[in-house]
Amino acid sequence: MQVNAEAMALPMTQETNEAALLRELAAIVGARHVIDSTGDLEPYLVDWRGRYRGTASCVVKPGNTQEVSDVVRACAARGVAIVPQGGNTGMCGAATPLGEGPKIVLRLDRLNRVRSISRLGDAIAVDAGCILADVQAAADGVDRLFPLSLGAEGSCQIGGNLSTNAGGTAVLRYGTMRELTLGLEVVLPNGDILDAMTSLRKDSTSFDTKQLFIGAEGTLGIITGAVLKLFPKPRQRAVAFAKANSIESVLDLLAQARAELGDRLGAFELMSRGQIEVIAENLPDVTIPFALDTPWYVVIEIVDTLASSDLGAALEQLLAAAYEGELVTDALIAANETQAATFWKVRHSVSEGSKRAGYVISHDSAVALEHQATFVTRVERRIAALRPDARIVMHGHVGDGNIHILAIIPGVARDQIEALQPTVRAVNAIVDEETSALRGSISAEHGIGMANRGRMASVTSAVEMTLLRNVKQLLDPNNIMNPGKVLAPPG
Amino acid sequence: MQVNAEAMALPMTQETNEAALLRELAAIVGARHVIDSTGDLEPYLVDWRGRYRGTASCVVKPGNTQEVSDVVRACAARGVAIVPQGGNTGMCGAATPLGEGPKIVLRLDRLNRVRSISRLGDAIAVDAGCILADVQAAADGVDRLFPLSLGAEGSCQIGGNLSTNAGGTAVLRYGTMRELTLGLEVVLPNGDILDAMTSLRKDSTSFDTKQLFIGAEGTLGIITGAVLKLFPKPRQRAVAFAKANSIESVLDLLAQARAELGDRLGAFELMSRGQIEVIAENLPDVTIPFALDTPWYVVIEIVDTLASSDLGAALEQLLAAAYEGELVTDALIAANETQAATFWKVRHSVSEGSKRAGYVISHDSAVALEHQATFVTRVERRIAALRPDARIVMHGHVGDGNIHILAIIPGVARDQIEALQPTVRAVNAIVDEETSALRGSISAEHGIGMANRGRMASVTSAVEMTLLRNVKQLLDPNNIMNPGKVLAPPG
């Protein structure tokens, strides 16, 4: 067979380039830590919700920071893009290798050591590939608390938590991942290693470049290590479940709880009646401790490091005053840990219960507390007008302004999902508009990734968008770090 | 007289340019808000310690953010540099118009409004020219606390606090200025206004460009507004004064206090025996509540929002256990507010007492707690070897790792100060070396400005220095924002 030599040239060169890169990467990290197309790439090419699927030349698993740097240099020299991947538990497709062009997935799994831990300094230095639950356990081992806590904690990694500025259920008390971070180590897109692994609580030497990498979802470099804050461990907790007639009352109760109990207030989680109803209907094993006769329900947890303080009395006093002041119509304080677990079980069942009720269009909104009631009312009214058949239910970490509004469309068969997408976009547009009008966030804790990058410009000022793009261009002029994520290509 | 026309050209053009700029600035802010050489420029050209003196074409006082933007554009168009100045209380000369080239001082005084305050959201939005004490008072007015507290609080401004990532006495409990900040408004070097005045506690939409301006000392833009966190007000406090034989014991006591009392621990302030002795010798009105028979002394304050909790008992329990465990040799719990004030009076007298004892070479160091004892011992030994006549005394916010080591040289007459400068540099070099070896900070809370910019490179990695310079170049390519501060000119 006659072969057109010219037509072959490009594919042959590409293949050669790819083969050469694979050889080079194997030389850096060891052949058994490179998975190419002859191996099982599948788990690394799809996000865990199965919404995104991409392609990659290989998955490479460096064993230390220097190897990460060497891999980055090798890829940079060939113009091959790098998609950093932690536990691959993200909600927005940031860790999936999407788009055109040659690219590899870089897994941090082997960077999984606790480098050091200081009880005295209340700090832990870890590799970025450490699993969140392992960091929690290491802290617990020295009688300290690492407070970040979220659903995926058994498999998500610290690097991913940093890259999305993760939130979770303890933000009210301890802050987001940014606030929990003292130091970082980052491999820059040119392979340089930024060693900012400080454990200092106070430093006033110039602006702080490491802040840029928190929330950047791997688009500015690869986080390889971090120094994180530890806290004294609470010795006791008290948990209550309360009912209220309005969001305003719930927020007044929150303000009183903060003012009186201060940092004892560990969690303040809101659910709408509809949210609990879908749990009751779909998860019969979950005990609902109340008749559902008011529109709003709150789980309140207070904690204390001092074993001798009387938390139960403090919580009782708060709720008695709230009942007197007609902020709550009823409240139940858990008599023991079993009952406390029952209360929390309701809160932890929101995702499962909602999923069984229909197709869920979910949102991860944050608005200032003074706008919560307005926001919820407006969004609910507009979605109801758009889709009268939607069940609109809500839950959220209202203590920190983060509310998840879910529009559940019942009876959607698998083959009807595609046809539903215009509705999804219309619902998103409603949420974006109302969020933007109240200066909220469309992604309080899940990130932007691929899912939300098209929505960024509608909720971000032109000046800020320019600054974001300029910083990206400065740090990654050849656009090899997780290209196309967070910031959509201009134009 | 014959005049060389060519030689005259440059000065005449300069004068014309300056006159034109003054006219333009007057048109923007109103003539009475521009002080030129016919007015009293003096207070704006010298830092409050009288260590730096500069020159400026004028001082301009815009009345709002748009006027700041217009001033920046006018200066940028003419290549005139801008030195932002808050309360002019800085320790490092960052707000003094130094160096060559035409420049103006931009004062924020007229941007002094509280824009809004939310009890519900625990947030206050302010102009950057607000005086810190006024923000504290505004918070107090709605029964909330803005915790930043430092010596200059009666005249320093929020913009300056942000620009140095200010610390003070409440960092242990509430964090530095960065941690107290939710939102910022910044006029960029091109005049664009970055409106990031969010009050959200949680936001995961990309990396956070506003973080760059915190600690930048006005070299990347002018902060014109901020949204700051408020906290519930403590309803009670308990104060103790304790004696210890070693820094190790002091730090063990700190760790126990943190573990047991959690966020009740409001302050944990260390003084060396020598530090208290200079107070006793020079300030006879200050009562010293102890015989000075151990090397280390601590003021401990614990606070609580809950009026009903028994703080005194908790503090007593902590100190009794510490005495049992031989961490403290003696401790005194204040029986009332008067006695508490007596204890704090000692701590607040360190600067005045030291100043009267001689010429003070002071340092603002931070090292991780596990290195505190090593750091202090090494620095003390080396300074003593260099200057056997120096009194080496120490005090610090040891709870957050920040220790001030003072070398006091007695009997230095005013005309001997110049001759002492080589000693100052030699002492600085000792502190820099030991700080660097232990990965500490040479400026925990005072900034870099002009005073420390020559020391930056010796305590900062080459990769980080490059990143700092590149970010400066990106944001301020014509170097008009506070040139020469923080980052020394390269080469």
Contact B136, B117 (CB under 8 A): no
- In this predicted structure, the answer to whether residue B172 has a pLDDT above a threshold of 50 is yes
HSE (CB half, 13 Å, CA atoms) of A248? 4
Contact state of B204 with A445 under an 8 Å Cβ cutoff:
yes
Rounded-to-integer distance, Cα B110 and Cα A36, Å: 63
Number of H-type helices and E-type strands within chain B: 15, 19
Contacts of B145 (CB under 8 A, 6+ apart): B136, B139, B230, B231, B232, B233, B234
Choose among B120, B194, B446: nearest Cβ to A464.
B194
Question: Helix or strand or coil: residue A438?
Answer: coil
DSSP tag of A295? S
Contact state of A258 with B232 under an 8 Å Cβ cutoff:
yes
Per-residue confidence at B6, pLDDT binned at 50, 70, 90? Answer: very low
Choose among B171, B206, B367: nearest Cβ to A448.
B206
- In this predicted structure, the answer to whether residue B425 has a pLDDT above a threshold of 60 is yes
- How many beta-carbon pairs under 8 angstroms link A with B? 293
Give chain A positions within 8 Å (CB) of B254. 120
Phi-psi region of B175 (alpha: psi -120 to 50; beta: other; left: phi over 0): left
In one-letter notation, the amino acid at residue A97 is P
Mean confidence (pLDDT) of chain B: 93
Q: Which residue of A has its CA nearest to B143?
A: A259
Phi-psi region of B170 (alpha: psi -120 to 50; beta: other; left: phi over 0): alpha
Measured between CA atoms, how close is B44 to chain A, in angstroms?
A: 23
Contact state of B204 with A308 under an 8 Å Cβ cutoff:
no
Contact state of A369 with B401 under an 8 Å Cβ cutoff:
no
Give chain B positions within 8 Å (CB) of A171. 201-202
Q: What is the mean pLDDT of residues B121-144?
A: 97
pLDDT score of A19: 92
**B265-272/B391-397 β-pairing:** antiparallel
Token code pair at residue A18: 């790819």
pLDDT score of A457: 84
H or E segment to which residue A75 belongs:
helix A65-78
pLDDT score of A3: 43
Q: Which residue of B has its CA nearest to A435?
A: B200
Q: In terms of Cα–Cα distance, which of B218, B66, B97 is closest to B157?
A: B218
Rounded-to-integer distance, Cα B423 and Cα B388, Å: 12
pLDDT score of A398: 85
pLDDT score of B398: 85
Q: In terms of Cα–Cα distance, which of B398, B342, B378 is closest to B169?
A: B398
**Which of A202, A302, A369, A450 best tests the B interface by mutation, with the highest count of B CBs <10 A?**
A202
pLDDT score of A15: 60
CA distances A251 to A136, A328, B162, B387, Å, are 31, 11, 30, 61
Choose among A206, A448, A470: nearest Cβ to B456.
A206
pLDDT digits (tens, 9 = 90+) for B35-87: 998 999 999 999 988 889 999 999 999 999 999 999 999 999 999 999 999 99
Contacts of A53 (CB under 8 A, 6+ apart): A45, A46, A96
Contact state of B305 with A260 under an 8 Å Cβ cutoff:
yes
Rounded-to-integer distance, Cα B148 and Cα B167, Å: 7
Measured between CA atoms, how close is B47 to chain A, in angstroms?
A: 19
**Which residues are B114's β-sheet partners?**
B126
pLDDT score of A490: 58
Question: Is ipTM beyond 0.90?
Answer: yes
Measured between CA atoms, how close is A128 to chain B, in angstroms?
A: 18
* pTM of the shown model: 0.94
DSSP tag of B362? E
CA distances B482 to B111, B292, B357, B471, Å, are 19, 47, 35, 15
Q: In terms of Cα–Cα distance, which of B372, B379, B192, B349 is closest to B284?
A: B349
Rounded-to-integer distance, Cα B359 and Cα B350, Å: 14
Measured between CA atoms, how close is A228 to chain B, in angstroms?
A: 13
Token code pair at residue B103: 């420049």
Give chain B positions within 8 Å (CB) of A445. 202, 204
Contact A267, A238 (CB under 8 A): no
Rounded to the nearest 10 degrees, what angle do helices A311-324 and A247-261 cross at?
Answer: 140
Tokens 């303040």 correspond to A268
Contact A374, A334 (CB under 8 A): no
Rounded-to-integer distance, Cα B224 and Cα B184, Å: 8
CB atoms within 10 A of CB A475: 23
Q: What is the mean pLDDT of residues B314-325?
A: 96
Residue % of chain B over a pLDDT of 70: 97
DSSP tag of B150? -
Measured at the alpha carbon of residue A142, what is the angle toward residues A136 and A146, in degrees to the nearest 5? 30
Contact state of A461 with B195 under an 8 Å Cβ cutoff:
yes
HSE (CB half, 13 Å, CA atoms) of B321? 13
Give chain B positions within 8 Å (CB) of A463. 188, 192-195
Contacts of A10 (CB under 8 A, 6+ apart): none
Question: Helix or strand or coil: residue A207?
Answer: coil
Contact state of A368 with B308 under an 8 Å Cβ cutoff:
no
Rounded-to-integer distance, Cα B388 and Cα B72, Å: 51
Q: Please count the residues of chain B.
A: 491
Q: What is the mean pLDDT of residues B138-152?
A: 95
pLDDT digits (tens, 9 = 90+) for A237-269: 999 999 999 999 999 999 999 999 999 999 999
pLDDT digits (tens, 9 = 90+) for B186-240: 999 999 999 999 999 999 999 999 999 999 999 999 999 999 999 999 999 999 9
Which residue positions in chain A have pLDDT lower than 50? 1-10, 491
Measured between CA atoms, how close is B164 to chain A, in angstroms?
A: 6
H or E segment to which residue A266 belongs:
strand A265-272
Contact A298, A364 (CB under 8 A): no
pLDDT score of B2: 45
Contact state of B448 with A206 under an 8 Å Cβ cutoff:
yes
Contact state of A205 with B264 under an 8 Å Cβ cutoff:
no
Give chain B positions within 8 Å (CB) of A305. 259-262
Give chain A positions within 8 Å (CB) of B441. 198, 200, 202-205
Q: Is the dihedral of CA B404, B409, B414, B420 positive or negative?
A: negative
pLDDT score of B300: 97
pLDDT digits (tens, 9 = 90+) for B367-401: 999 999 999 999 999 999 999 999 999 999 988 89
pLDDT score of B23: 96
Residue % of chain B over a pLDDT of 90: 87
CB atoms within 10 A of CB B289: 13
- In this predicted structure, the answer to whether residue B10 has a pLDDT above a threshold of 60 is no
Measured at the alpha carbon of residue B464, what is the angle toward residues B459 and B468, in degrees to the nearest 5? 110
Q: In terms of Cα–Cα distance, which of A116, A125, A113 is closest to A228?
A: A125
In one-letter notation, the amino acid at residue A456 is M
Q: In terms of Cα–Cα distance, which of A431, A471, A404, A446 is closest to A176?
A: A446
DSSP tag of B217? T
pLDDT score of A13: 59
Tokens 């961490």 correspond to B327
pLDDT score of A6: 47
In one-letter notation, the amino acid at residue B448 is I
H or E segment to which residue B272 belongs:
strand B265-272
Tokens 């808000």 correspond to B33
Q: Which residue of A has its CA nearest to B448?
A: A205
Question: Helix or strand or coil: residue B261?
Answer: helix
Give chain B positions within 8 Å (CB) of A262. 231-232, 234, 263, 304-306
Choose among B175, B212, B441: nearest Cβ to A200.
B441
> What DSSP assignment string belongs to A127-149?
ETT-BHHHHHHHHHHTTEE---B
Rounded-to-integer distance, Cα A290 and Cα A339, Å: 13
Rounded-to-integer distance, Cα B476 and Cα B219, Å: 8
Phi-psi region of B99 (alpha: psi -120 to 50; beta: other; left: phi over 0): left
Backbone angles phi, psi at B229, to 5 degrees: -75, 140
> What DSSP assignment string belongs to B207-262?
--GGGGGTTSTTSS-EEEEEEEE-EEPP-EEEEEEEEES-HHHHHHHHHHHHHHHG
Measured between CA atoms, how close is A297 to chain B, in angstroms?
A: 19
pLDDT score of A151: 85
H helices present in B325-407, as ranges: 337-348, 350-357, 372-386
Q: What is the 3-state secondary structure (H, E, C) of B440-476?
A: CECECCCCCCCCCHHHHHHHCCHHHHHHHHHHHHHHC
